[in-house]
Structures are given as structure tokens and as C-alpha cells.
Amino acid sequence: MGYKTYARILAHYPYIIILVVLTVVTTCLVLTITLGSRIDFDDPIAGFEPRGTELADRLVTFANLRQNVGNQTNLLPESKVTDNRPSSTVKKKPKRTSFNNNTDKKHTRWRSNMHNKTNANIFCGVPDKSYPRLVVESTHGRSLFNFEDIQAICEMESHYFLHYESYEDLCFPNPVDGFCCTAWTLGSYIAVLSDRASCEHITAEDVASVQSLMLECAPFFHSGTLKINCDNEQEEWYFDTNYPPSACSDVPLKCTKYNAVAHIFYYLTDSDFMHTRTPPLSSNKPMSFLKYSTLFLPVSSGESALDLFKELDSMPRDYKTIKIVAAEFNVKYLLFEEYLISDSMWLSGACAAIFIVMWLYTSSVFITIMAFLSLFWAVDIAYCLYTFVFNIKFFPYMNMVTLVVLVGIGADDLFIYCKVWRLAKSEKNNGVLEKLVLDTLRHAVMSMLVTSLTTASAFYANYISDITAIRCFSVFAGTCIVMNFVLTLTWLPASIMLEEKWLRCFTNMNNKKYSILYCLCKFPYRLYYWICDWSRIFFEKILPCLVIKFRFVWLIMFSIFWIGSIVIIFFYPRLKLPTSDKFQVFSSDHLLERYDLQVGKQFRFESNKNNEDRQQFFVSVVWGVLAKDNGDPLNPSNKGSLTFDPEFNITSPEAQKWILQFCARIRHTDFYLHMSSYTDCFFERFFKEFMAQDCSNLQVGDVECCNRTGFPIPADKLMDCLSVYISLLQHTPGVQYNNHSPGPRFSNRKISAYFVQLASNYSYSTSYEEAHTFYSKVNQWVNNELLYAPPGMRRGWFVSDLHFYDLQSSLAMGTPLTLGLSLSIVAVVSFFTTLNVLISIYAFMAVAASISVTLASLVLMDWELNLLESVIITIAVGLAIDITLHYGVAYRLAPDIGKEMRVITSVGRMGSPVAMATFTTMLAGALIMPSTVLAYQKFGTFLLLLVSLAWLYATFFFQSLLRIMGPNGGCGQFHWPASDCCMQGTRGHVDKTVYAFSDSTVSTSSTSTREQSQSQNYYTSHHELEPLTGQDHHLQSHQMPHSNNNIPYGCPQHLDQHNHHHPRRKGDYLTVKSSSTPLSTSGNTPASPSASSIDKHQLILTLDSIPAS
């Protein structure tokens, strides 16, 4: 269907288009509601992991092996695998810890032991990481270790928590009195050491006495002599079961009493408190300044503490002389969906503000409502395609960011289409309604196509990322933009035609009964004209003058900014990879995020070096399964199944000998950490200890697995002995042998997989450089060893706890690739849009500069290259190019009478709509910046920065380049091949109409009438003007505020007021053609020959030849 056929349908049957669109969107909506799965964001970090990389495949396979996905393996050889079907979906549940099992066991033991305790029965045990906690600091910038602040901490516990009505149901009861156990605070420990009943009873002398005790004991603690369990009566409340009993010799008894001093240092005070590395107060005492202190609550963290945190969050942060600076309740991800919904009010506010702007621009409530409905329809159709056509089951929360971009893009398309529609209506020879629609489509489609294509391409380019959430976001966001473009060509024109034909404001609206409708039509109409008058002066006169007059200043200044931004991004302080493996979902000032990102690591019990679960990197080498992820890369819960290595054989004599040699060699490497374990290298202990036992110790009926068995062991015998050995391990006290333990895995009495796991001397680190060094070194060593392995053992591979390193590596390598792809697409689009080499190069430079300065600004705001930032960087290209391309196309199609005139025409013609589009996008970004959800906040900041900088670089840097080095004539210009180059026939009719100019339509500038007349004579004597609706060129034209193109849609009473004829101004026709017959202003008298010598600059100043917005 061609332009003409579609224009005919729109002009005469718009309701058909409306019905077709409604049918499609209704069908999609019904399918989504009835067959689609519920969207939930219970686990916001789901999908924020790479899939498909070498390391990711290893991590996924290793996790499947340890979790025994699909019951494909067993720990014992005699157990048969009856169901080898893979469980393709492994449900990843969010961390909803309603009650910690360890906490439950500890509390039960405390309750039984508290009855035996007659002294210091304030606490129900010791602090623990599983308990909710908050961090306080002094409001006066002083040390917290003073009586006034410590007393405020005690009172805050009572005021904020004990008075909370549900606190008694949540807290652990003290078995002595039945009331809630006391929170672990600095004041409570001072009460214990001072033999006080509670922290409310301590005195200033008690505080000073304990501070002196801490100063005396600090050297012992920091030297490692004073440990957590020096007072090691294991049945007492103060014994910490997380650590072994310690014999602390040469430590004064007062420092070990109740282990209180060690607990204060380890759990309740920051790591700089009284540390020997801090400057001393005097010659023999360390610094005693206490900045932070924790308060542990005797309740379970997780879902049960959710309401308690909400209560805390609603209370003032400041309490007397202290303030709460951070908290950890293990509820961050549980709160996310709730905050995501509540933050929608900021998005709604942005939509409301843009609605008003669009209403004022279109002067039509109906058109504005229909435009917003098209945005909803675009999301509806895109989600239906995303779910049912693309068959993507995972919907990350990042997809919600698409709504912000869609609102801005939708507003831009509406502005473009409505402006072209007005200009088409204003043409004197605009013809029938069908011709109006055809002309509007011909002019608007290309501009909207460029905008949508560049933005959608930038989104789709993210699909090459390895990270699941980013790939899903790219598909959904790109599809939304494409669907919005389709609806802009269908729903929006049909809506405008509906209003034009049937929904006009009635001529009797000024009656009392139509007063509301009259106001709705009249208010935006008057405001629009008032704004138009001022914007016409700025965009036609002031802005072009600023661009041209100071072009060298702009070029030098913005070039310096560009060069400086490159230094900031790549050299100092440079864009860094993320350094924290704690994923941020809320704004940095949120209590939970402050604990994770800033405050938590200030305490010893939270630091990595004291976290036993992640103390060292482990070296795991796996055989028998191929490192292959055959799951769905777009579904984080589908990790596939194990793919076994058909060549694997560890039972062969060569393999048995080699595996022992491998374990011996790995223990002599420089990365091995000597630690004893029963199962780290399973066959080493099995062969050297179990199979070396004396056969005389065997009982009747036992399998003969002893020193009489030769080595290597036959395969059948090996299976029998392994069965006996593993059974013994499972019943050996202190030995845990389960799915996570290294060793063999069996399938139908055959060893189907095997892995060893040893500790390395590399401490766990979130530093990319340190993790990269560890992975590269160990991986190279393992690969070299496997080169000399027996044939059945050569396909092993190395893996470790490198999830965060894999994420960093994917971001470091994927972001530049995606950015390069986006820039390549933009370069191609800009060239085929302008068909001019120089314009395309300058446009590319302007876009690259605006993105570079934007990134530098974000780096100075301490942004890191995390997941959200990676997406922001890559889509920046698609959002920044639009403004520059609009200017570039306008310059390319401007009358070819000099670079300066073309720049003036470009700025004057496109300045207003480009500024309006920039304003609406900036408005959307600014209004979502107060959000709590980090994705909304950062995307709002990014939009505000990028769009404003893109406008500055496009308007001043790009236009200055064009004025100084822009193409003239056919320089660097290509053309599409003519479709009728080989056809014979007469040339088609060209509209030779020449329009007269009246005094009322000439510019109202201060230039004299004589200069205006001379300019008009010169212009008409050398060029023949062609209207917007001409067949050769289709460009936008300018109208004075009194011309019919500015009349709001469907208001006949205004048409009656303005239906007198206004001859066209020369600025209303932007495409010029040579004419052999000079014409005067009236069209009857030949122009004066001297007019041709008029100065070009005088022509620019005197002619009101730049179209208005």
C-alpha cells in the first residue's frame, strides 16, 4: 500500500484505522491478562549475571553439579538414577528469611542456660550477623564514647522499638522475666561490666571506667592476643559459637570478663576505634575517637522484621544527640517491589507535566489524550510480543525504565507530526483533505523514522551483552520504540482526522452551557500564541546571531570540554568497574544502602578478612561434565542440565596414578594454601589412608579394601571400596559429606563426574585486577597440567567463586562493544539521512562529544560502570543523535545561498521543535530524580544531563562546525539514483505559482522599508519560490501567528476571525529554484538590476526568511 492509498484511507475512513488498532491492542491485552504470567520483582537482582561466557558456563555447570539438578548424579555408587530427565527450570527464590535456623538453635540454648546465670543476665546471648542492626553516630561530630550519647542510644531503643505495638511478638523473650531481651548496645555492655541492671542505670563514671578499660585492652585485641572466646565457658551466654574456644595467655582477666571487651571491639564499634594505626592522643594511648556504633535487636531478620523496619524508617533519623545513619534488616529486596510501585507517582508526575506541555502545543485535549493512549498501546503490544512471540519468560525491573524513554519519544513524534500538519494546512494551494494527509505523511515520516530508528537501534544493540537482564531490556525497550513509531503512523493521524472531521469545537461554545469546552479550547490557544511570539524572536533572531557571531568561541570552548572529558573518563579519576558485590537497588542515602555500601564495612565483623565463608578463593577442578550452559540465556531460573563427558574415565590405571600426581603437584604451587580437609582431594586420602589400612582389622563380611589390594585398583573393586569409604565419611563426626563436598559423583554404578577443591592463598576480593590475576594464573596452570593428562582426563576445567569477576569482565568488554555498535549504526543512519559526508562526520563528532562530556559528568558524580550505567551509556547514542540529525537535515535542505544562511535557516526552522523535544525529555528526567528506586533516579539524572548537553553541542558546536567548515553547493553530497533516469517522456508539471507579498507579512524588525523592498526584489529576481506541498521538495514552512496554521484543531470561530487572506512571506518557502524571469514584489514589475548587488549580510538581517516553530 503506497502513500496515496494510505492517505486516502486516513482522510476518508479514519475510524477504520482506529478500530483496527483497538482490535489489535485489545487482543494483546486479553492475551496478556489471561495467558501471561504475573510480573513480580520479588528478586530484583535476578538476571544480573552473565550467561554464555566461558566462565559463566563453568559457574552454571558447577552449580548444577553441586545442586544435582535433575537428579542426574548420586553420592553413592549403588544408588541408581531412575530419572535422568533434566529439570530445566531451577526456581530462584528471593531471600525471604523469616527465621534463621542458627538463630533459633542459639536462642533455645540461651533460654535453657539463662536460668543458671545469676549475674549479667541482661542479654540473651551474643550479637550475630543474623540479627537486625542499625548504626548511629553523634550529631555534634564528637566521639560517641561519652555519657550523653550512650544514654541517648539506650533511650532510643525504648522510644523507637519497645513502644512499637508488635515488638513483643517479634522479640526473643528473656526466660528470667518473660520480657523482651535487651538489645546489644554499647550502653548495655557498659552496664554488664559495671554490674548495673540495665543501660538506663549507668553513670558517667561507669562510662569513663569502661573507656579506660578499653584503652588498656586495645593493644591485646589489635595484636590478636585477645580473641572473641577468651572466656570460653561454652555453656554461658557470652560464648560465641561462630568461633572456637581460645586460650588467651598473657591477657589480663579484666579484659576477658564475659568476653565483653572483645565483643565491643568486634561488633559494636568501628574498626578505627582505638586502633594502633590511628594517631595517638598521647605518647602511650591510641586514638579513642568513636565515630560509629551498632545496635543489635533481639529479633529475627528478614520478612518477619519488615514491618519493624518500616516503623523505623518512618521515625526521625535524629534522636537527641545521636542520629541513625544506616541499618541492616535483611529486607532490602523484600521492599523493592513496594518502593517500585510507590515511586510510580514520580513517573505519573512526569507524565502529567508532559501532558500539559503537549496540550499547550497541540491546543487539543483530545489529541493529547489519544497520544498518551498510543504510549499505553505501544507498551501493551510490545509486552505481548515480548511474552508470546519472542517467548521470553523473564521480565526484569529494568524494563520499567522504558516508560520514561517512551514518554519523551512519544512527545517528540507528536510535536513533529502536529507541526507538519499545521504547515500543510497553511499552504495556499493545499488542496483537498487527502492531499493534506499525504503531504503531512511525506514530511513527517522520515523525521520520525530517523528518531525511532536510532533510539531502537541503540536499545537493540544491547542484545550482544552477556548479561541476561540487559538483553531482556534491549528486546523490550527496542520493541516499545518500534511499536510507538507504528502507532504514530496509524493511531495518531487517524485521531487527528477524527477531530478534524467530527470533533470540532462548536461555534456556540461561547454559550454558558459550553463554557468549560470553550475554556479548554481557548486557554491553550491564547497561551500558545503568546509563547510563539517570544519563541519566534529567540529562535529566528537571537539564537542564530549567538551561534554565528561567537562560532569560534563555541567551537574552542566545547572542544576543550570534550578533551577534558576524555581525560576524566580514561585517565583520572576514570570510569571504574564496580568495587562492591552488594547490588544497589535504592538511592545511596537510603538506610539499607548506606549500610551495604558505606557504613557496614567499617565494622570488623562485616569485613571480608573476617568473613570465614569468603576468606579465600578456592580452586576447583572438575572432570566428567562439560562446561556447557544449555539453559535459556534469557531466563535466569532456567540453568539447563548437566552434559556428561563421554570420554571421561577416572577408573583407568593411568588416571588413578595421574590424579594422585595432580594433587601432589598442586600442593607445591605458589597459589596453594595449606589447609587440612578430608575431601579436598578425595582420592588422595582414599588411596593413601583408607586403602592402606591393615587387612587384619577387617571383620567377617567386610569388603576387602585394605593394604592387600594392589594399586591401581580394578574398576569393580574400586566401586565397592568407594561405597564403603563414602558411607564411613557420612557417619564420621566433624566431617560433612554432601552434594557440595568435593569427590566423585556416580550414575548407575559408574563415576560420572569428579572434582577436587583446595584453598588458595589469594584472599577473596572484589577488585577486578586481583581477581583477574588469580583466575589467569590458576587457569593457565590447570590447562598446562591437562595437556599431559591421560585421554579420559584431558577435558577438565577450573572454576572458583568468580561470579562478581565474571560480571565485571562482561561489563568491561561488553559495554565498549555495544557502544561501538550503536555508534556505527548512528553513523550509517546519519549518512543515509543527509547523504552528505561532511554533515555526517560533524554530526558524529557532536554526538561523541556530548556523550563523552555526559560520561565525564557522571564519573565526577562517583558513578561506576555497573549494570544500569552500562545500559545508560549504550542507549545514550540513540537519544543524543536525534537533535543533531534534525539540524543536519535542515542544513542540507536549506536554500544553497551560503553556509551562513543555511545555518540560520537550520537553527530558525528546527530550533523551536528541537528545544521543545529537549525540554520535555529533560522534564521527564528531572521529575523522576527524587525516586527511591535507583534505576529511576539514575536514569532521570542521565536524561537531564545527556539531553541538555546534546542540545548544547548540537546547537552551538555542530552548527559552528557547519558555519566554519560546512559543505557548500554539492560538496560531499551524494544523491539517490533517479528512478526515471532511463524513462522517456515529457517532464511533469512543476508548480510555477509565484506568490505576492503584502506589507503585513514582511518581518516586523527595525530594518527600514527601503531595505526590505530591496531584499525582496533581490530574492525574487533570482529565485522562484515553491510551496511546501510541491512535488520536488517537502519542507516545513513558517507562519505568522495570525495565519490559519496556528488555529487550534476544530475551532471554527477562530477560523472565522482569521479567514482573510494573508499573502505568503518569503520565509514561508524554504526550497528555491532558479528562474529566468525576475519578478518584483508585486509580481508585475521587473526587479531593479541594482538589487542584485545587495550585501548578503543585509539580506539576512532584513529578510524574515526563517520559519517559525
Tens of pLDDT, residue by residue over 569-603, are 999 999 999 988 888 999 999 999 999 999 998 99
The 10 Å Cβ neighbour count of residue 907 is: 27
Q: What is the pLDDT averaged over residues 888-893?
A: 85
Domain edge (last residue) among 767, 801, 835: 801
The winner for highest mean pLDDT among 462-471, 696-705, 829-838 is 462-471
User: Rounded to an integer, what distance in angstroms lies between the CA atom of residue 164 and that of residue 157?
Assistant: 10
| Number of Cβ atoms within 10 Å of the Cβ of 1011 | 16
Q: How far apart are CA 154 and CA 606, in angstroms?
A: 23
Give, as one character, the DSSP assignment of residue 214.
Answer: H
pLDDT of 908: 86
Q: Which of 221-235, 588-602, 698-712 has the lowest average pLDDT?
A: 698-712
Same domain? For 999 and 925 the reply is no
Pair type for strands 743-746 and 751-763 = antiparallel
Of 304, 313, 339, the C-alpha closest to 96 is: 304
d(CA 477, CA 710): 66
- Asked whether residue 1092 carries a pLDDT value surpassing 70, the answer given is no
pLDDT > 70: what percent of the chain?
79
* Gap between the Cα atoms of 150 and 1098, Å rounded: 79
CA 156 to chain centre: 37
| pLDDT beyond 70 at 637 | yes
With beta carbons less than 8 A apart as the criterion, state whether 645 and 625 touch: yes
Give backbone dihedrals phi and psi of 738, rounded to 5 degrees, phi first.
Answer: -140, -165
Most confidently modeled of 683-687, 891-895, 944-948?
944-948
- pLDDT per residue as tens digits for the range 411-433: 888 887 887 787 778 776 666 78
Mark whether 487 and 523 lie in a shared domain. no
Instruction: Give me 1072's grid cell.
Output: 528555491
**pLDDT recorded at residue 907:** 92
Residue 736 in 3-state DSSP?
Answer: coil
Confidence of residue 841 (pLDDT cuts 50, 70, 90): very high
947 with 860, same domain: the answer is yes
Q: Establish if 298 belongs to a structural domain.
A: yes
Q: What is the pLDDT of residue 989?
A: 45
Residue 93 lies in a domain: no
Q: 826 and 783: one domain? A: no
**pLDDT given at position 79:** 61
| pLDDT value of residue 521 | 59
Q: pLDDT for 1001-1036, tens place per residue?
A: 333 333 333 333 333 333 333 333 333 333 333 333
Select from 660, 633, 628, 662 the least CA-distant residue to 645: 628
Specify whether the CB–CB gap between 203 and 187 falls below 8 A: no
DSSP one-letter string for 1078-1105: ---SSSSSPPPGGGGG--HHHHHHH---
Question: What span, in angstroms and rounded, lies between the C-alpha atoms of 753 and 624?
Answer: 4
Dihedral over Cα of 797, 798, 804, 807: its sign: negative
Average pLDDT rounded to a whole number, residues 312-320: 93
Domain closes at, from 307, 329, 351 = 329
Report the alpha-carbon distance of residue 404 to residue 406 in Å, rounded: 5
- Answer yes or no: is 581 within a domain: no
pLDDT at site 1053? 38
| Rounded Cα–Cα distance for residues 508 and 504 (Å) | 11
Question: b or e along 463-478 (b: 16 or more beta carbons within 10 Å of the residue's beta carbon)?
Answer: bebbbbbbbbbbbbbb
How far, in Å, CA of 1099 to CA of 1014, rounded?
Answer: 9
- Does 81 reside within a domain? no
Is the residue at 903 inside a domain?
yes
Q: Looking at residue 296, what DSSP letter applies?
A: E
Average pLDDT over residues 769-798: 95
pLDDT of residue 121: 58
CB atoms under 10 Å from CB of 513, counted, come to 9
Mean pLDDT of 109-132: 63
Q: What's residue 525's pLDDT?
A: 63
Amino acid 999: pLDDT: 31
| pLDDT at residue 292 is higher than 90 | yes
Q: What is the pLDDT of residue 504?
A: 58
Residue bearing the bigger pLDDT, 454 or 460: 460
Is it the case that residue 717 has pLDDT exceeding 80? yes
In a domain, 86, yes or no: no
Q: Are 195 and 295 members of one domain?
A: yes
Does one domain contain both 826 and 890? Answer: yes
Q: 860 and 1008 share a domain?
A: no
Q: What are phi and psi of 3, to 5 degrees?
A: -55, -45
Set of cell numbers at residue 632: 535459556
Return d(Cα 796, Cα 799) in angstroms, integer: 10
Instruction: Based on the fold, state whether residues 921 and 1046 are members of the same structural domain.
Output: no
Q: What is the pLDDT of residue 992?
A: 39
Same domain, 499 and 536: no
Distance CA 620, CA 630 (A): 21
Q: How confident is the model at residue 1108 (pLDDT cuts 50, 70, 90)?
A: very low
CA distance 137 to 318: 10
**pLDDT at res. 80:** 54
Residue 353 has pLDDT above 60, yes or no: yes
Give me the mean pLDDT over the 795-802 stretch: 96
Q: Is 1000's pLDDT higher than 50?
A: no
Domain final residue pick, 769, 801, 833: 801
* 626 phi/psi in degrees, rounded to 5: -80, 140
- Measure the CA–CA gap between 1019 and 649, rounded to whole angstroms: 90
Catalogue the long-range contacts made by 31-38 (C-beta closer than 8 Å, 24 or more residues apart). Answer: 31/384, 31/388, 32/380, 32/383, 32/384, 32/387, 35/388, 36/383, 36/384, 36/387, 36/388, 37/387, 37/393
pLDDT tens column, 8-46: 999 899 999 999 999 999 999 999 999 988 888 888 999
1007/930 same-domain check: no
Model confidence at 286, pLDDT cuts 50, 70, 90, reads very low
Burial class (CB in 10 A: 0-12, 13-18, 19+), 195: exposed
Q: Which among 223-232, 443-452, 508-517 has the top mean pLDDT?
A: 223-232
759 or 100: which leads in pLDDT: 759
Q: Which residues contact 398 (CB under 8 A, 6 or more apart)?
A: 469, 470, 472, 473, 867, 868, 871, 935
Tell whether the model's pLDDT for residue 1042 goes beyond 70: no
Establish if 861 belongs to a structural domain.
yes
Residues 298 and 387 both lie in one domain:
no
Q: 106: which residues sit within 8 A by CB, 6+ positions away?
A: 125, 128, 241
pTM of the model: 0.81
Check residue 231 and report its DSSP letter: S
Full residue range of the structural domain in which residue 781 is found: 615-624+648-801
Q: Does position 476 have pLDDT exceeding 70, yes or no?
A: yes
Mean pLDDT computed over every residue of the chain? 80
Answer yes or no: is 112 within a domain: yes
Residues 286 and 359 in one domain: no
d(CA 468, CA 451) in angstroms, rounded, equals 27
pLDDT band, residue 279 (cuts 50/70/90) = low
User: What pLDDT score does 1030 carry?
Assistant: 37
Domain total of the chain: 4
Closest CA to 488 of 386, 406, 424, 427: 406
Packing angle of the helix pair 14-35, 365-384 (nearest 10 deg): 40
